[in-house]
A and B are shown apart, each in its own frame.
Chain A
Amino acid sequence: MDSIRSLRLPPQVGQPTTTRSMMSDVLVALIPTLAMAVFFFGPRVLLLTAISIGSSVLFEYAYRRFTHQSDTIRDLSACVTGALLAMSLPANAAYWVPVLGSAFGIIIVKQFYGGLGKNFMNPALAGRMLLATFPILMTNWTQPMDWLPLWGVDAVTSPTPLSYLHDGSLPPLSLGQMLLGQRGGCLGEVSAFMVLLGGCYLILRRVISPRIPLCYLGTMGVLALIFHPQTVDPLQWATAQLLSGGLLLGAFFLATDPTTSPVTPRGQMMFGVGCGLLTMLLRTHSPYPEGVGWAILTMNCCVWLLDRAGMPRRFGAGRFAVLRQWAQQARENVAEIHFVKPNIHFHFFQGGKMPGEEHLDQIRAQAKNLGHFGVVLVCAVLVIFGVHRFTDLDTARAEAKYQQELLAQVMPQAAFSSETPYRAPGALSIQAGYSQNNELVGYCIEVQAQGFSGMVTMEVGVDLNGQVTGVAVTDHKETIGVGTNAMTEEALSRYIGKSGTIRLSGSNSVDAVAGATATSEAITAGVNRALAIVASLNTEGGDVSYVDGEV
C-alpha cells in the first residue's frame, strides 16, 4: 500500500482564496468605516488614508528594493497596514504622523524580521502605539459633523465617550448615537455599526475566525458586568464599554491579524481572553483612557506561549494526556532531587593538630584574597563615613532651609512648624504651624494622590478656619512640560482661600489645567483630603478618622 500512497496526488480541487484575496477582503471590510469617517469629518480623511496607505506601500517597496529582495507589495499586506493605521488616527492628525507610523511599522516591525508572516508584532498597531507615546499628539479628538479643512487644523480637545467611562460615569450619548457614531474618537471608532458590519463581512468570508473577537468582546462584557461602578446600571455600563473606544476596531481588525495571533484554536481563545483582561485592567486602572492597543501589543509578545499551550490534543490520546505527561515529568524531576544531610563533624584532638587548626590553614590559604577584600571594605567604609561626616551638616542645613521655604510657601503666616502626635491614614505627616508668638496658626498636612504617572506628594496648609493657605508639590513623576503645568506657582495659588470640598467644576471649584487633567485632579484630591483631615481633627490627639470628600 505504500506504493499507492506515494502515487497519490495532492488534492486537485482547492478553495479559491489566496493571501491576496484575504487582504483585499480586509480592505473591502474597512470601506464602510472609511465612508462613515468621511461623512463625519470631511475629505481630509480621504487624504490622510491615502497618505497612510501610500507611504506604507512606498516604504515596503523601497526597503525590498534596497535590500535586493523580492517585491511583495502585490500581496496587499502593506495596503492593509496603511489602512488600519489611518483608521486608528484622529481626524486632525498632521500629515506627517501616518508617514512616521508606517515607516516604523513597515520597516522595523515587519521587514526587519523577514516580512509578511514572520513578524511577531502587529505593524499597524506598533506604529500607532509609537505615536501614542508622543504626549499631546494623540489625545486631541474633534467632534463629528465638523468638517475639517485640508490644511491648517487647530487642535481642539473634546471629550470622547471613553473619557467619560474613565471617570466612572456613563457618556451622555444614547445607544443609537454610540452605535452609529456621533461621538468623538479616532477615524475607525466613530461608527461602531460600520465596524461591526465590516467584521461580519470578514467572518462570513472566512477571512478571520470568530473566535478571537468573540472571546475578546465576551471577556470585556463579562468583566464590565461584574466590575461596574456602584452608581451605574451594569448592562448599560457593559454596552457603553463595548461600544466605546477602539475596542471593536481592535477586536475585529487588529487582534485578528493572522501573523501575530496564535495559530491553534485554543491558543486563539486564550489570546482573546487575555486581551480582554488586559484591556479592562488598563481601562479601569490606568491613567490612559484607552487600553486596547497596549493590551493587544502585550499579548502579541505572548503568542509563542499560547501556541504551545494551545496545541490541539493528539487524536486518540486522552483528554488530559499532555497534562498528565507533564505532571509525570515534573514528578520524576522532583523525585531525583533529594536532601543530603551535610557532614558537619567536629575534630576533637585528632593527634597532631590542635582543634580548628585545619580551618585556620584554610583561612591562611585564602588570606591574601581576603586581605585585599578586607582592605577595600575598610577603605569604602571609611570613605562613606568621612563623606557623610563632612556633608551631613550641610545636608541637614539644606534640609532645614528647604523645610523653611516649604513652610513659607505653604503657610506664610507661620514662622516655624513642628510635628504633632496626630496620625491619619492617608496622610504622611501632620505638622502644626506656629506664628512668632507661639500661637497655633494651622496645620500642614503631607498627602499623596495618584497622578498620571505615579504618586504626587504635596504639602497642604490649612488654617484653623478650614481654609487653604498654600499648596506645594514635593515629589512627583509627571511628565515635564505636560503634567508640571499644573504645578506652577500660579496654578497652585488658585487653591488659596478655598475651603470645604473643592469640586472640579461649578461652585467652589478649581478648573483643571488644560493638558494636565490627571495631575490637576490629583492635586485637588490631595487638597480635599487635607481639608477633610483638618475638619475631623479633634484636639484629644491620637488617630484622626475622616471620609474623603466629606467636610
Chain B
Amino acid sequence: MRRSFFGGVNPAPYKESTRRKPIARLEYAPEQVVLPLAMSSEGDSVPAVKPGDRVAVGQPVAAGVDLAVSTHASISGRVLAIEERPHPWGGRSAAIVIENDGQDTPWDGRPQPLDSTRVTLDLLLARVREAGIAGMGGAAYPTAEKLRRAAGKADTLIINAAECEPYVTADHRLLLERSDKILLGAQTIARAIGAQRAVLVTEGDKLNAAEAVERRLRKRSGKVELCTVRTRYPLGAEKQIIQTVTGREVPPGGAPLDVKCVVLNLATVFAIQDALFRGRALTHRAVTVTGGAVARPRNLWVPIGTPLSCLLQSAGGLRETPCLVLTGGPMMGTPQHNLEAPVIKSTNALVCLTALERRQQSQETVCIRCGKCVTSCPMHLAPSFISRALRLNELHRLPKLHPQDCIECGCCSYICPARIPLLERVRQARELLEKGGLD
C-alpha cells in the first residue's frame, strides 16, 4: 500500500453502519419521480415529453442540447407536469415530474447490447451520450464530452473507487458486488479511447473489495491494474488521485488531460458498461442513506429522481430530528433544507447528522501558527498565511499565495485547532483576486 500525495487528513470514517449492507432495492417505491432539467454541470436539458405522456423505464424525457446530458425516465408512468421543484443544489428549478404506476415497464426503444470486442470509440461516445451519463462522483460533467476529449490524448485511465468521504459506502458496495462488470467496462473504455493503462484505485479501508477485484483480475487476466492506497482524505479528488497513481501533478489552472490522464468515477464506469452491454440508460444509482439520525442506515439502489424523503422511508425513517441533512459526505456535502428534493445523477449519499456528530460551531480563536493547515493542504497552499493576509488587509500578498489553486476539500478547516474558518477565508481570497484581476 502506498501513500503518495502530500497533505490530507484522516477523519473518522463512520462507515461501519453501512459497510456490510448489500445494495438493496427501495422497499417503498416512490409515488412520484422528479427529474430536474439541470443535472449536469454544462447546462440544462430540454424536455422531450409533455404532461400526460406515458413513459417507460429508460425512455428519454429530456434531450441534451450542446453539452448538456439527456435525461431518461427512471420509472414507468405518466408525466404529471413540468414545473418548478426543489433542487438538491439549492432553490427550485424546472423539473419533469412523473407519476409512478408501479409497473416498471422497460422501454422497448432501448439500444441493443454490444459485444465487448466490437466497441469502437465512436460507438462508445454515441452510447454514452445516448444514455445521458454525467460524472456521478459529484462533479456531473458530461461523460461523453470527457471521453471525446480524452480520446487519443490520454495514456492512463483511472477508475476512482476511493470513496474518501466519511459515511459514504455506495461505491464500495458497488465495487464489491459488481467487480466483474466494472473491470470489463474499464477495459473496454481504456481500449476505446486508446489509453495504455487502466488503473482501479481503491482505499485501504476497502480491502475486501480490493481482494474481490484481485480475484477477478487473476481469473480474467485483464489489463486493468489494481492500486490500493492508504486511506486518506481527499484521495478521491482528481488531482490527488492522478498524483498518487502516476506521480504527475496537474499544472496550476490546468486539467487532468494536461498530464494525459482521465479520471472516471466508479459508478460512472458501471453506468457506461450498463449502457454498452445491456443497452440501459442511466436511470438508477447506488445511494448510501446513513447518519446518526437515520433508524436503519443502508445502501440503496435508487431510481434517479426519487425524493429524499422516500429514501428515508426505506431506511426506516428518522430516529430523531437531524441537526443537518446533507447530500454527499460531511466534508464537502450540500445541505438540504427540503426533503422533497430528488436524487440526481451525482448524489451518492444522504447523510442525516445529529447534533453530537456534527462539529460544534465554536468560537474562532487566534491563530497560533501551529502549521497543521499547511501540512494538511493537498494543494500545497498555506491557508494560515492567506487568512492572515485577509485579516490584516494586506491584499498585495495574496497573488504569491495563489489561493486559486484551492480544491475546497476542507482539510484546513477540519484540522485547525483554533477553529478558524480557513476554507471560507481561502474562498474569499480567491474571489478577491478574481475580482481584482478583472478590474
Which residues from chain A sit less than 8 Å from chain B, CB to CB? 1, 3-5, 7-15, 17-19, 21-22, 75, 115-118, 209, 258-259, 261-265, 268, 311-317
- Tell me the complex Cα distance, A258–B365, Å: 15
Of B41, B362, B374, B421, which is within 8 A of A263 by CB? B374
User: In the complex where A13-B12, A18-B418 touch, is A263 in contact with B369 (Cβ < 8 A)?
Assistant: yes
Residue from the list B239, B250, B330, B375 in contact with A209, Cβ < 8 A: B375
A12 touches B369 (CB 8 A): no
Q: Which B residues are in CB contact (< 8 Å) with A17?
A: 417
In angstroms, how far is the closest chain A Cβ from the Cβ of B363?
10
Give chain A residues whose Cβ lies under 8 Å from the Cβ of B31. none
Contact of B366 with A by CB under 8 A: yes
Main secondary structure of the interface of A (DSSP, over half): loop
Chain A residues in 8 Å Cβ range of B330: 11-13
Cα-based distance from A311 to B331 in the complex (angstroms): 26
* B359-390 contact mask (Cβ, 8 Å, vs A): 1 or 0: 10010011111110011011111101100000
Is the CB–CB distance between B380 and A313 below 8 Å? yes
Q: Bound complex: CA of A290 vs CA of B358, how far in Å? A: 50
Q: Is the CB of A7 within 8 A of B89?
A: yes
Interface membership of B405, Cβ < 8 A: yes
Q: Which of B58-66, B112-120, B332-340 contacts A (4 or more CB under 8 A)?
A: B332-340
Least CB distance from A25 to B in Å reads 11
Residues of B participating in the A interface, judged by any CB pair closer than 8 Å? 6, 9, 11-12, 41, 89-90, 139, 166, 239, 249-252, 254, 324, 326, 330-335, 353, 357-359, 362, 365-371, 374-375, 377-382, 384-385, 402, 405, 408, 410, 413-415, 417-419, 421, 423-424, 427
CB-based contact A258/B362 at 8 Å: no
Shortest Cβ distance from A74 into B: residue: B365
B366 touches A9 (CB 8 A): no
- On whether A5 and B408 interact (CB within 8 A), knowing A17-B417, A264-B382, the answer reads yes
A168 to B164, CA, bound (A): 56
Cα of A258 to Cα of B89 in the assembled complex, Å? 40
Contacts of A261 in B (CB 8 A): 369, 371
B382 contacts across to A, CB distance below 8 A: 263-264, 311-312
A18 adjacent to B362 (CB under 8 Å) = yes
Contact of A265 among B41, B89, B371 (CB under 8 A): B371
Question: In the complex the two chains form, is B368's CB within 8 Å of A258's CB?
Answer: yes
Chain A residues within an 8 Å CB radius of B6: 312
17 residue pairs from A and B, CB less than 8 Å apart = A3-B90, A8-B408, A9-B326, A9-B333, A10-B423, A11-B413, A11-B423, A13-B414, A18-B417, A75-B365, A209-B375, A263-B385, A265-B375, A311-B382, A314-B380, A314-B402, A316-B250
The number of A-B residue pairs with CB atoms under 8 Å apart is 141
**8 Å CB contact of A315 from B41, B334, B380:** B380
Pairwise interchain contact A258-B254, C-beta atoms closer than 8 A: no
Contact among B9, B90, B334, B368 with A259 in the assembled complex (CB-CB below 8 Å)? B368
In the docked arrangement, what's the CA distance between A311 and B252, Å? 16
Q: Assess whether A117 is in contact with B369, with CB atoms less than 8 Å apart.
A: yes
Per DSSP, chain B at the interface is loop
- Which chain B residue has the least Cβ–Cβ distance from A313? B380
- Do residues B252 and A316 form an inter-chain contact, with CB atoms below 8 A? yes
What residues of B have a CB within 8 angstroms of the CB of A311 in the complex?
382
B329 CB to nearest A CB, Å: 9
Which chain B positions have C-beta within 8 A of A262?
A: 371
A15 & B252 in contact (Cβ 8 Å cutoff): no
Q: Which of A3, A19, A115, A259 contacts B417 (CB 8 A)?
A: A19
In the complex, A11→B360 CA distance in Å? Answer: 11
Kindly state the separation between the CA atoms of A259 and B89 in the bound complex, as whole angstroms: 41
> In whole angstroms, how far apart are the Cα atoms of A337 and B405 in the complex?
36
Most chain B CB atoms below 10 A, which of A12, A15, A117, A311: A12
- Taking CB as reference atom, which chain B residue is nearest A118? B366
Give the docked Cα–Cα distance between A315 and B332 (Å). 21
Q: In the complex the two chains form, is B419's CB within 8 Å of A116's CB?
A: no
Question: How far is A115 from B367 in the complex, measured between Cα atoms in Å?
Answer: 11
Check A10 against B370 for contact (C-beta < 8 Å): no
Point out the residues of chain A lying under 8 angstroms from B418, CB to CB: 18-19
Give the residues in chain B near A10, CB-CB below 8 Å.
Answer: 410, 413, 421, 423-424
CB neighbours (8 Å) of A209 from chain B are 371, 375
- CB pair B90–A312 under 8 Å, yes or no, is no
Cβ-defined contact, A116 with B366, below 8 A: yes
Complex Cα gap A263–B376 (Å): 12
With a cutoff of 8 Å between Cβ atoms, the chain B residues found around residue A14 in the complex are 359, 413-415, 419
Closest to A75 in B: B365
- Least CB distance, B419 to chain A, in whole angstroms: 7
**Cα distance, A8 to B424, chains bound together (Å):** 10
Beta-carbon nearest neighbor of A264 in chain B: B374
Kindly identify which residue among A13, A115, A268 contacts B359, using a CB–CB cutoff of 8 Å.
A13
A14 to B360 alpha-carbon distance, docked (Å): 9
B333 contacts across to A, CB distance below 8 A: 8-9, 12
Task: List, in ascending order, chain A residues with CB within 8 A of B359's CB.
Answer: 11-14
Decide yes or no: A258 and B358 within 8 Å by CB, A9-B335, A19-B417, A313-B380 being known contacts. no
A3 to B408, CA, bound (A): 14
A18 CA to B419 CA in the complex, in Å?
7
Closest residue of B by beta carbon distance from A115:
B366
Cross-interface CB contact of B90 among A7, A11, A258, cutoff 8 Å: A7
Asked whether A316 lies within 8 Å of B254 as measured between CB atoms, the reply is yes
CB proximity of B272 to chain A, nearest CB, Å: 22
Additional A-B contact list (17), CB under 8 Å, known A261-B369, A314-B252, A317-B252: A4-B90, A7-B90, A13-B12, A13-B330, A13-B357, A15-B414, A18-B418, A18-B419, A19-B366, A19-B417, A116-B368, A258-B370, A259-B369, A263-B374, A265-B371, A315-B378, A316-B251
Partner of B380, one of A5, A7, A268, A312: A312
